[in-house]
Amino acid sequence: MARDLSRDEEILQIAVEVVWRKGFAGTKLSDIAEAAGIVKGSLYHYFDSKEEIYARLVNNVRALFEGEADLDTSGSAIERLELFVRSRVTIILQHPLEIALLNRDLVRMKGAIGDWAREGPRKNFAVIRKIVLQGQKDGSFRAADPDLVSSMILGVLAHVPNWYHRDHPSQPEELLREVLEYVMGGIRAREATKAKV
């Protein structure tokens, strides 16, 4: 079991980078130890196995979204969609590799972890679709197939961690603003877009 929490987290961050490069199946404890600058046997001071490291990584990713389940359901469609996008992009920018692993590896896993990872996009799709329908009904969003629009928004969010990494030259606030402008500019009704400019 882990004893030194600050060192645990440091090793977990290193493990995320190694697993991202090599995949879970291709990663050995010796790879993580080498990247952490310690001998393999020292890892057992912190973790019992590679599976425990991965379980901790999974739990960390799950914890990022636990408080997100019930985003505010009041407000205009524009406010709700901006809140949703802002919330998701902020998490992605703070934890890009962890979210990339979720998108790439966890969704392919069997069992409870894989089920949870696959359920997330379905829930997000349902939330976005409700917001899109609200915005189309009140005229703030352009008329379009709500399933297509929701899928496109999810696609934008799903691909941010594939290209963004912590050493990216742009500041997180700038990237957040750009993603928000792109999503919101694409969905607003034409009159609302002209009025915003």
pLDDT tens readout for residues 124-157: 899 999 999 999 999 999 999 999 999 999 999 9
The model's pTM is: 0.78
Q: Which residue has the higher pLDDT, 133 or 96?
A: 133
The dihedrals phi and psi of 141, each to the nearest 5 degrees, come to -115, 145
CATH number at residue 167: 1.10.357.10
Distance CA 103, CA 164 (A): 14
Q: Please give the tally of structural domains in the chain.
A: 2
Residues 91 and 170 reside in one and the same domain: yes
Axis-axis angle for helices 50-66, 111-138 (nearest 10): 20
Residues 107 and 44 reside in one and the same domain: no
Distance CA 174, CA 123 (A): 27
- Find the domain containing 182 and state its range: 69-196
Q: Is residue 63 part of a domain?
A: no
Both tokens assigned to 3: 């004893």
